[in-house]
Structure 1
Amino acid sequence: MACEKVLGTVSSYFPGQLGSGERNRRANGLSSGKTGGTISAKMPVREAVQKGLATVADHPKGGISFGPFTLFVGERLLTKEGVPVKLGARALDILVTLTSAPNEVQSKEDLMSRVWPGVTVEEGSLRFHLASLRKALGDGKDGARFIATLPGRGYCFVASVSQAGSRGDDDKIATPSFLHANIPSRLGRMLGRDEDVLKVSVSLTASRFVTIVGPGGVGKTTVAVAVAHHLMSAFAGSVLFVDLGMVTDPKLAPTAVASMLGLSVQSDDAIPSLAAYLRDKRILLILDTCEHLIEAVAPLAASIVDAGRHVHLIATSREALRVEGEHVYRLGALAYPPNGRGLTAATVQKFPATQLFMERAVASGAPLIVSDFEAPIVADICRKLDGVALAIELAARRVESYGLQQMAALLDERLTLLWQGSRSAPPRHKTLHAALDWSYGLLSESERVVLRRLAVFIGYFTLDAALEVVTSTTLDRTAVFEAIDNLVAKSMVATHPLGAMVRYRLLDTTRAYALDIDIDDAQATDLAVRHATYYRRWLEQTGIEWTTLSAGSERTPHFAALNNVRAALEWSFGEGGDLAVAVGLATAAAPVFLAMSLLPECHRWSERAIASLSPQTRGGHQEMKLQAALGVSLMFMRGGRDAAREALERGLAIAESNGDTLDQIRLLGPLHMFHRRTGKFASALEYAKRCSAAAATVSDPAAKALAHTNLGLALHVDGRLVEARSELEASLADEFQQTTTIYLGFEGRILATAVLARNLWLQGYAVQATECAHQAVEGARDMDHSLSLAIALVWAATVYLWTGDLQSAEIDLDQVIALSEPHSMTPYVFVGRGFRGELAIRRGNTKAGIDSLQSSIQKLHTLPYELVTTELSLSLAKGFSVSHRFDEGLRTINETIKLIEANGDFLYMPEALRTKGDILLSMARDSDEDAETCFAQSLEWSRRQGALSWELRTTIDLAKLAASRGQSKEVRTLLLPVFERFTEGFDTADLKAAERLLSARA
């Protein structure tokens, strides 16, 4: 991120120096007639640098001064206190380029192109000459800072610069005779604040008055002190630090500043004397810890800045001073790693919050070596402490006493606000509790009440939520609004833009402090009920939106609010909660949990809510919705257990008794899926037909899309490919754009697209099938919906296996397993492992493949989850045959054929018969006749289904049999008519095999 500009435009920084005439432009090789070659008076410095226009004309005629140096660009001369400084030509060119845009980051590429125009040089040359320049300037010695390096970004000239040789009397800089400088020592190593220091320095140079605002312990004083050291040379040592933290009487604030300056004040009002003294001084004044004296410090700061034209002032405060000329710099917490899987030690060490934690822990005597195992623990600690430097330091001091894991557990149980800090720290920073006591003591009574009530929220909340929940008979909306505004100003409530609205939150440390403030039980219960009631209403109003949200920023605000739903559920079902509120909230939350693939939460709260139903509410709409959600979540988490079926059937019975057709459709769809997944394909087809018939009587687009999807899936498994394709394509029509996620727990369009891909391959359209499979996976990725993505990946992988693209299949199957394990989608783990077994067999690792298939099939039977077991059993039979275990192979394929006949997944019958024929041919006994019978039956099934790809495979086997008998003419007679019916996919495995056979017999 680039430094911000010190002063808006080139013309405003060097008035009258740019674009001042053709003579200047020609002197620099620029012509006003050249496209992109004119330096506009309104062109920002950054743009001028990027265009390569910052040359002699970018500097004032008299030169510029910084610290003890003056640079005369036209004369290519640098002086220090009037004495020329010896500097190489390239180093001088670098200095000219950097000072042409002070406080602007210039990339290494820009610098090299400016200093070595038209020449390719190594980056080492730039570093060498920069080192020479820094040495000549004394950069880094005695607090002097001129050139900053921003890793990965470039370099920035950070010293304060001024025009040399043209000052009037009023512009004279104070001499270095200022005797009262008392700036505290800066930290030996400051983490994560370099950019803040640069930005504050830039803002201070431009505006002269900056207030650094932030919550207690975030590091405001540390940054202010660092800025002072950063600008020390620019103010010739004239820097004064005034700690107002020990001043308790607001009337004494001006006197404290005056006394630090050595002024003797003879009146009750010290401000006039201060203003008179500072009128002609160039000084950097720091007023630290102003929040408790805000009413006195605000007019004091305004008067000083107004009176002293060359006085620069930094204030630190937990709220802005709100006076004319003030520029507020809100200091954020230290960056910490995001919440996510796979954090490594190397990743964690890149963040300043975790760096600070580790350094302070080691400095306190802890033998802390962070490995990949400890890295997530450290990241979680810093995340819980919101990156607040004081909190992190206090926690790090405890690692030596408790160890890392125990210390993290203590934070989980309760943020320890009373841990002691450094003995040298101010009293308000001795503990987190003391820091928060300091802030809390500055609040009005209404602000204290609102802060305590806001602690009911977990994480982010909206202003609307706060007004609804916090407002009561004793505190109206106007008072709440004003209090929240003041709490934000005083850094007790943080703001953050999420989506199109600003969200609010209490830092975890502040929230823990607020929750310790006692309120009576009746008030606490009333607050919790209002909180739960608000989020129930929010879920009911926004529930359908969840299914239409894109991944990323659109979902972030909703997930933030979902944390409050979870908290409300915990309270309402807990001891002292309200079961009526709990059931209503769980009913509203269940479809949202389904829509977001939060299956364990959907199961947990639906089950608890059903158990908590009163006799009066059983058999009603709430129970119907809860039973549906429970059944769907159980189905995807645990397979075809009776509990899932019973819940869905109970929901359907309630819907039928209430006569609501839409509710019936919403239960018929999951029931179709349940029977389909448990291998009862004939029953699944019947439920799909019932769903389709019911959907024809309503005008709801989502219901119609659901019906088309279900019927298309059932017909596909039944082997009726033409009808299946028609239904699947209908479900994907533009008129049915509404989602089915909220009913099925996954996006029906994704499944329809994935199954359509399989249908297309079977019908002989391999290219279209592959494209369709890819669309299904990418569509699910765009949704960022775990269950929908797992479904898409599984079916896409089967298409890749059929086409012979083993690499793509492997990638998808690995993702299925990686995705399903953390989301408790157990069936998909075994499905992924089963198909990985087929991959192993096809790559020659037959034993491992057979073992994997046998294990996966057995576990899928146990669940039960039978949707792919026929396909996996076919692979297992082929594996036995490849490893010459023919009897086992024949037994497996015979059992598979019987199951197909019993269950109704006739889609696989052509391939099962073909596989049996292959095994019979491979056996030692004379079984050619039986094999040919199987092939003939396979062809009959293939042609009846319209499965051209199955037909090709069987025809290839028959052609190979004919070739083995020396019947070359028969090979072409059998194979060519089938081969010629294909119009695409000629680079797929089966068509390549057919082409080789035909070419060999040409």
Structure 2
Amino acid sequence: MEAARLMTVTGVGGVGKSRLAVRAAARSAPPDGVWRVELAPVRDPQFVEYAVVEALGLTDHTTRLPREILLDRLAGRRVLLVLDGFEHLVGACAELVSELLRRLPGLRVLAVGRRPLGLTGERLFPLAPLAEDEAVELFADRARQHGLETGDCPVVRELCVRLEGIPLALELAAGRLRALSPAQLLERLDDRFRLLTGGGRDALPRHQTLRTAIGWSHELCTPAERLLWARLSVFAQTFDLEAAEYVCSGDGLAAEDVLDVLAELLAQSVISREETPTGPRYRMLDTVRAYGADWLEATGDAVRLRRRHRDWYLGLATWCELDWFSPRQREVAARIEIELPNLRTALEFCLTEPDEAHLGQYLAGSLWFCWAGCGRLSEGRRWLERSVELESEYEQSRLKALWVLGYVAILQGDTVPALAALRECRVQAERVADLTAVAYAEHRTGCLALVTDDMARAETLLRSALDRYQEIGELNSNVLMGQVELAMTRAFQGDLADAVRLCEDVRRVCEDHGERWARSYALYVLAYAAWRDGDPAGARELLADCLDNAHAFHDLLGSVLSLELLALVTAAQGDPAEAAVLQGAAGRMWPSVGLQLFGSAYYNAPHELCEATARQALGDARYEECVREGARLDRDAAVARALGGGGVRPLEALPAPRGPVSHALGDAGKSRPAASPTRKGGETAG
């Protein structure tokens, strides 16, 4: 490989490697973009590739491994990949980077860590601490952020020299200027050096200095600040105030005091605050977090705090599952997205700690709306498979994980494992008389029959499942999706009137509850019926709404189905060239959709008819040219074009460099009480 294609920035923690890499990447961005992967929160080497796929925003619903997805989606593209904080995963990262660079000529990698990757052709850029003048300038700048002027005096220069120009150490020191003068800082730093310089004799002086600087800052904290610092180390990446108040309070720190103590840590640059779409959140630098984690382990309180962390996020997932069926559905999607690092930490704790497997099964199952509704099938399946492999005395939690596993496998087009999971769920649920699990297993088996074109069996199973849902009073997005799926069986068997009745009922219930995800699929069926009834304008309006919602939820299946039908409607309205462009855009999406719907005579019919119509109008050469034009559009651009250029959010760019640094858990397995669905004409009406 070429030396220039892999560069690794190395240096001690806190020296500014990440900040340098972000700025360098922004200045040398290749045509197809720069993507940053934060690897510090990843603990399992097997999840390195998932982290890269996620950072690149590569939604894929197939059973392909993450590396296959990366190789496929990056082929022919010129991309810069920034791998930040890889040192604890060096083996997995080195192996992945080696293959990616070998097979993707347009890829460049900027790695950031405390050690090299050790690959042939790797160019190293050891990052030294700041020179004395630069250190003084940084210290003065951080002091001004706290409303203070330090000037350039011998005391400040001596302080910067003692801290050896390490940016993190300087920023922590500047955070103390609200309470101490530079002279007092220097005096106390001398004491801390004598007391805290540690490590083996072979440790690098700068490693000792950094730990000393953090330890010195730690020693200057009040007991409450030290306690909160240690307890906050259980969070992965960012956290909000409510989570900190629940997880970190008790045993010496009252919940009502957490905010004040947190504010002090913020003022001292131990943590930083950032604004997000879900509100303000806090972040602790990895080096600072690691120091706090060491202290937490030393207190013997680490397992209890990790369990409290798990409890909070188990409760969050429970309430988000309930709120998914509400006007807050999009907010739930955004909240789950930003909390994924903490949810993964909670899942890992459950699946590795003795006697916690049932909670891991419940948590993995409760996140079905994230896996299926927000485009995370591959990751969800991994957690679900891990969870159901574990022994558990709580059958209800495992049954939930089983039917969700079957559902996810169906959406990936992996029918054999899906059927196996659903059969096991059905048999075990009947054995223990879990009526809810029986209904879900039957529903998803009907869904499997639907996508494999067995319409008679699909209709029988879906009707039975809907009857069971009504008997137990179950009403949520899954129930409504079952009714939409039943409507599809009716539409595909020629009974459009019944399909419309069922989906209009779903639409009314969704609008009453503010539900948008299941509603989008109901709109798809209504659009199909409108097109069949000779109303392409009405079909287009319904499909625009459907596509906008599906894209917002990262729902590839909903997006591609809408695009295919929209292409047919476009052809019917007299624009075969644009119809072919939309088909090309849909064709680019299909490889990432696990469902093998192009093998379905029913789902494939709009595509076949549109292609025949467009080819006849354009001729083969022009049709293929338009298809190629559409295939060049990425998902955002394709949806924007289909919607007339509006309403599509741009992909997230490389983040700017950052500076340093009363919940009640619901009963597992219980669902929110709901009014019993009404009945119309023998069908469940929501």
Q: State the TM-score, normalizing by the size of structure 1.
A: 0.41
- The letter for the 1-side match of 2:560 is A
Where in structure 2 are the equivalents of 1:291-690 lying within 5 Å? Answer: 344-345=29-30, 376-378=80-82, 381=84, 405=109, 407-408=111-112, 420-424=128-132, 425=135, 426-431=161-166, 434=209, 437-443=212-218, 444=221, 445-473=223-251, 475-477=253-255, 480-499=258-277, 501-515=279-293, 519-520=297-298, 522-546=300-324, 548=326, 555-574=333-352, 578-614=356-392, 616-617=393-394, 620-639=395-414, 641-656=415-430, 663-690=437-464
SS of equivalent to 2:412:
helix
Query: In the alignment, is the contact (CA less than 8 A) between 1:495 and 1:503 conserved in 2?
Result: yes
- The letter for the 1-side match of 2:541 is E
**Could you say which residue in structure 2 is the equivalent of 1:247?**
none
SS of equivalent to 1:377:
strand
Report deviation, 1:556: 3.7
Report deviation, 1:405: 3.8
Report deviation, 1:621: 1.9
Report deviation, 1:732: 1.6
**Could you say which residue in structure 2 is the equivalent of 1:709?**
484
Report deviation, 1:488: 0.9
Report deviation, 1:733: 2.0
Report deviation, 1:422: 4.1
Q: Distance in 1 between matches of 2:401 and 2:362?
A: 10
- The letter for the 2-side match of 1:796 is L
**Could you say which residue in structure 2 is the equivalent of 1:779?**
549
- The letter for the 2-side match of 1:673 is C
Deviations 1:908-955 (A, max 9, x none): xxxxxxxxxxxxxxxxxxxxxxxxxxxxxxxxxxxxxxxxxxxxxxxx
Q: Cα distance 1:670–1:466, how it changes in 2: closer, same or farther (>3 A)?
A: same
Q: Distance in 2 between matches of 1:659 and 1:795?
A: 42
Q: Cα distance 1:460–1:775, how it changes in 2: closer, same or farther (>3 A)?
A: same
Q: Cα distance 1:770–1:752, how it changes in 2: closer, same or farther (>3 A)?
A: same
SS of equivalent to 1:794:
helix
Query: In the alignment, is the contact (CA less than 8 A) between 1:532 and 1:585 conserved in 2?
Result: no
**Could you say which residue in structure 2 is the equivalent of 1:724?**
499
Deviations 1:496-553 (A, max 9, x none): 2345643211134433454455724953322222222221122112223245577987
Q: Distance in 2 between matches of 1:573 and 1:412?
A: 32
Query: In the alignment, is the contact (CA less than 8 A) between 2:412 and 2:594 conserved in 1?
Result: yes
Q: Distance in 2 between matches of 1:583 and 1:458?
A: 21
SS of equivalent to 1:650:
helix
Q: Cα distance 1:409–1:826, how it changes in 2: closer, same or farther (>3 A)?
A: farther
Where in structure 2 are the equivalents of 1:778-857 lying within 5 Å? Answer: 778-801=548-571, 805-819=575-589, 821=591, 825=594, 827=596, 841-842=615-616, 843-845=618-620
Q: Cα distance 1:440–1:776, how it changes in 2: closer, same or farther (>3 A)?
A: same
SS of equivalent to 2:163:
helix
Report deviation, 1:772: 2.4
- The letter for the 2-side match of 1:345 is P
Query: In the alignment, is the contact (CA less than 8 A) between 1:793 and 1:812 conserved in 2?
Result: yes
Query: In the alignment, is the contact (CA less than 8 A) between 2:484 and 2:503 conserved in 1?
Result: yes
Q: Work out whether 1:764 is the aligned partner of 2:527.
A: no
Q: Distance in 2 between matches of 1:481 and 1:725?
A: 53
Q: Distance in 2 between matches of 1:646 and 1:739?
A: 35
Q: Distance in 1 between matches of 2:465 and 2:326?
A: 24
Report deviation, 1:797: 3.4
Q: Distance in 2 between matches of 1:803 and 1:668?
A: 40
Deviations 1:289-338 (A, max 9, x none): xxxxxxxxxxxxxxxxxxxxxxxxxxxxxxxxxxxxxxxxxxxx89959x
Structure 2's unaligned 5+ residue stretches are 1-12, 37-75, 88-106, 119-123, 136-160, 169-206, 628-686
Q: Distance in 2 between matches of 1:663 and 1:736?
A: 27
CA RMSD of aligned residues (A): 4.7
Q: Distance in 1 between matches of 2:510 and 2:353?
A: 48
SS of equivalent to 1:492:
coil
Q: State the TM-score, normalizing by the size of structure 2.
A: 0.58
Query: In the alignment, is the contact (CA less than 8 A) between 2:484 and 2:502 conserved in 1?
Result: yes
Q: Distance in 1 between matches of 2:307 and 2:450?
A: 42
SS of equivalent to 1:536:
helix
Q: Cα distance 1:688–1:584, how it changes in 2: closer, same or farther (>3 A)?
A: closer
Q: Distance in 1 between matches of 2:245 and 2:32?
A: 40
- The letter for the 2-side match of 1:844 is G
Q: Cα distance 1:552–1:651, how it changes in 2: closer, same or farther (>3 A)?
A: closer
Report deviation, 1:376: 3.2
SS of equivalent to 2:297:
coil
Q: Distance in 2 between matches of 1:509 and 1:810?
A: 53
**Could you say which residue in structure 1 is the equivalent of 2:201?**
none
Report deviation, 1:715: 0.8
Report deviation, 1:796: 3.2
Report deviation, 1:634: 0.4
**Could you say which residue in structure 2 is the equivalent of 1:752?**
522
SS of equivalent to 1:491:
coil
SS of equivalent to 1:376:
strand
Structure 1's unaligned 5+ residue stretches are 1-214, 220-332, 352-371, 386-402, 742-746, 853-1002
